[in-house]
Amino acid sequence: MSGQPLPQFTAAGQPTTVLARLGRATGRHPLWWVLGWLLAALTSFAVAVGGVTGESLFERLTSGEPRVPGQSQTARELIQRAEPSLDNLMLQVRGASLDDRPSVAAAAAATGRLTQIPGVAGVRSPLLSPEGPSDPAVRPLVADGSPEQGAFLTIVDLEEGQDEAELSVTRSAVEDGFGDVVAALPGATGSVGSYHHVLKAITSTIESDLLRGEGIALPLTFLVMVLVFGGFVAAGMPVLGAIVSIGGALLSLFGFSHAMDLDATVVNIVTLLGLGLSIDYGLLTVNRFREELAVRPGQDPTRDDAISAAGRTVATAGRTVLFSGVTVAIALSGLLVFEAEIMRAIGLAGVSVVLVAMVVAVTLVPALAVLGARRLSKRSFRAADDTGLFSRLATAVQRRPFSVIAGGLVLLAALAAPTLDLRLTASGTELLPVSAPQRVFFDTLRTDYPDLAAPQVTVVARSPDTAEVRDALERFRDQPGVTGLDVRPLGADYQLAGFRVAGPPTSDAAQDLVTALSDLDPGFDTWVTGQAAGQIDFLDSMAEGAPWAVTLVVLGTFVLLFLMTGSVVIPLKALVLNVISLGAALGVVVWVFQDGNLEGPLGFTSVGAVESMVPFLVLAFGFGLSMDYELFLLSRIVEEHEGGADNDRAVALGLQRTGRIITSAALLIIIVFAGFIAGDILIIKQMGVALVAAVIIDATVVRMLLVPATMTVLGRWNWWAPAPLRRLHRRFGLTH
């Protein structure tokens, strides 16, 4: 790719590096490389999606709020140990005439038969009460506590210890029994729900989102690359490489699912990154291959020409791809230091996907290019001229660098301003669209059967005395938003206290109550749990790991850029600009999803907050992509500067030589991410918007304006480094 200095060459003009030898080896046997990769891709899709091993990746996924060790998790474990929760199925019936005794009796008989199904531990229904739905003891199972509403709830608990096959049989039999209950009530309708159904709905939606996202992204990127390359053959090579990379990504995720619980959202997040990088890397590789074929314009390339071009391509563009992959991997490796398993899973899976994309770019894509060398040579071209649109842009910026810097920073600050009011949440069924059946089921459950809903904030107290615990917690009844408090024994040595709080589970009132309860010292041990408590523990854990993650990413990136540029100023400037641009991208997410702007066009309903994982993932993924483009531009600027150009000339030439590539790559990756904005899962939609915003901001305001402006102002100080570091760079620098 243009943007990397050429490696050392032999007298015959051939590169001597390991990458060059790999490129020539690929060029000599391109068909075998292509067939091998296609076989690997087919195998990957068959294992990960086709379920040839008995289950697919999507069947192994989990879902739920991110959890970390802490008081919330300890409280959950204490409750589960004392009162193991059973898997269950729920039936909501609406439109029933509960004063119609014959039909109610028939429905009660059908409900009673549910208890006889193998694997059923118990059934709770107002129809089983001797007094029927009017019995005060079963009022929590009647909608609004009023039989006149004609709506009630039946809960079937399933026995512990059943394997997945047995549970499947039991669930199927129970759902058939639910159908008999509804059929016995003329005019009634029924809906079935459970957390198993929610997980199934989320994973199936993610699977359809993945297909939809790729169905949008791949054709559009192909069309754009046809315009970029001016031909179908060249355009198809990066797309084919991306498809193969997706197969490898899904297979790696399938492997990780056997080593750790893999949240359903990880699949789309990681696949989205792999798809974008694969297309970017393929674009760079094919672009450089065509440049190398331009040595003999107007003539068909020989086999030796194609092999030589493959060697030079992998030695140059392949080297850039490897540096780029390392940059992205460094950013994603920052996720590995966090306690939350889901963050480590995304980090590990992300790094593995980057590796797949890198290997595909330096083997499969060059092999495809060699096979299509004759067609590519018809439209081959040399490197960009010294003057053009991007060099003129750089010259215009260099005339008024201070004005450009001020205007750019003001724009980024305005975009970042909404982050000052950032609110975080961890959604459950809210991840699904409001029209999704399971979302509707649980929204109705919370509205019509409030007494069955778990308290928003729960306290586990180590004390055998219920009265003692009640007295200690009574003072918190006056907390803003608290609407009720219940205390009951939890086994012999513990008490379980539940606070009901107005508003959603992660409301300010719930979080304030958790904070106040956590500071309580009543003379006995207490642990606070609930969705708000879990989110606080998660964010505290992330805050604890953040300094280590930032240190790892910043240090790794700084070292990489120093070895490339020989400067300590350029890496510092790049880090600062990238952080500012990521803040602007996060501000866009807050403005859209928290404030509820663009709900109609983007097809979502705001929950008044941003998913708690999104800011951390935006910083990791966005930082990697931003440094990716920074590397493409800086590498060429450094090459021109070391070739004798002064600072301003090197900046203008660097922008001219890489502007077209960066713009094309950014456009393609925007299309990829935009394809996932069309999905239905909220966190995927938020990530798509965030990364689209990050790429647009970085490829325009930062890379085209702020980088040349700041490098113009700094002048020769761009290239400054202490003498010991200059000596270190002369020995180990990546540009030599």
Can you give 315-371 as a three-state secondary structure string? HHHHHHHHHHHHHHHHHHHHHHHCCCHHHHHHHHHHHHHHHHHHHHHHCHHHHHHHH
Distance CA 73, CA 291 (A): 58
The model's pLDDT over 542-590, given as tens digits with 9 standing for 90+, comes to: 889 989 988 888 888 888 888 877 788 888 888 888 889 999 999 999 9
Q: In the chain, what percentage of residues exceed pLDDT 90?
A: 22
Q: Assign 2 a pLDDT band (cuts: 50, 70, 90).
A: very low
Write down the pLDDT at residue 284.
82
The model's pLDDT over 681-730, given as tens digits with 9 standing for 90+, comes to: 888 888 889 989 998 998 888 888 888 888 888 888 877 888 888 888 77
pLDDT at residue 27 tops 80: yes
Q: Assign 12 a pLDDT band (cuts: 50, 70, 90).
A: very low
Q: Assign 297 a pLDDT band (cuts: 50, 70, 90).
A: low
Write down the pLDDT at residue 298.
57
CA distances (Å), origin 108, targets 104, 135, 184:
6, 14, 9
Q: Measuring CA to CA, which residue among 707, 683, 542 is closest to residue 635?
A: 707
| Identity of the residue numbered 103 | S
Q: What is the DSSP letter of 428?
A: S
Tokens of 366: 């060059």
Q: In the chain, what percentage of residues exceed pLDDT 70?
A: 94
Q: Measuring CA to CA, which residue among 248, 294, 293, 298 is closest to residue 271?
A: 248
Q: Domain map of the chain by residue range?
A: 18-55+199-425+539-732, 88-193
pLDDT at residue 10 tops 60: no
Q: What global pTM score does this model have?
A: 0.79
Q: Measuring CA to CA, which residue among 508, 446, 498, 503 is closest to residue 477?
A: 498
Q: How many residues does the chain have?
A: 736
Q: Do 510 and 483 form a contact (C-beta atoms < 8 A)?
A: no
Tokens of 429: 């069924």
Q: Measuring CA to CA, which residue among 677, 684, 678, 670 is closest to residue 611?
A: 684
- CATH 3.30.70 assigned to domain 88-193? The reply is yes
Tokens of 633: 């531009």
Most confident option among 57-71, 442-456, 648-662: 442-456
Write down the pLDDT at residue 736.
40
Q: How high is the mean pLDDT of the chain? A: 84
Q: Do 568 and 721 form a contact (C-beta atoms < 8 A)?
A: yes
Distance CA 477, CA 500 (A): 10
Distance CA 705, CA 590 (A): 25
pLDDT at residue 34 tops 90: yes
| Average pLDDT estimate for 500-514 | 87
